[in-house]
Amino acid sequence: MEIKKVGILGAGTMGLGIAQTTAMAGYKTVLFDIQKYALDNAEVVITKNLDKGIEKGKVTEALKASTLENLTFTDHFDNLESDLVIEAALEKLDLKKSLFKNLEELNGAETILASNTSSIPITQIGAELKHPNRFLGIHFFNPAHIMKLVEIISGVATDPAVVQSILKFVESLGKVGVLAKDAPGFIVNRVARHFYVESLKVLEEGVADHKNIDSLIKSVGFKMGPFELMDLIGVDTNFAVTSSMYNAFHQDPKFRPNRIQEQKVVAGHHGRKSGKGFYDYEK
Q: Judge whether 152 and 171 are in contact, CB under 8 Å.
A: no
Q: Judge whether 27 and 6 are in contact, CB under 8 Å.
A: yes
Identify the pLDDT of residue 269: 97
- What residues are labeled active site? 118, 139, 151, 189
Q: Is 42 exposed, middle or buried (0-12, 13-18, 19+ CB in 10 A)?
A: buried
Q: What phi, psi does 154 have (nearest 5°)?
A: -90, 135
Q: Where are the domains of the chain?
A: 5-180, 189-266
The whole-chain average pLDDT of the chain stands at 96
Instruction: For residue range 93-137, list pLDDT tens digits in order.
Output: 999 999 999 999 999 999 999 999 988 999 999 999 999 999 999
Q: Is the pTM of this model over 0.85?
A: yes
Give yes or no for residue 283 having a pLDDT over 70: no
User: Does the domain made of 5-180 have the CATH classification 3.20.20.330?
Assistant: no
Identify the pLDDT of residue 164: 97
The topology (CATH level 3) of 189-266 is N-(1-d-carboxylethyl)-l-norvaline Dehydrogenase; domain 2 (1.10.1040)
Give yes or no for residue 215 having a pLDDT over 80: yes
Closest among 157, 83, 147, 162 to 126, alpha carbons compared: 157
Identify the pLDDT of residue 197: 97
Return the SS3 of 113.
strand
Distance of CA 3 to the CA centre of its chain: 20
Q: How far apart are CA 78 and CA 81, in angstroms?
A: 6
Query: Is there a cis peptide before residue 160, judged by omega within 30 degrees of 0?
Result: no
Give yes or no for residue 247 having a pLDDT over 80: yes
Q: What share of the chain has pLDDT > 70, as a percent?
A: 99
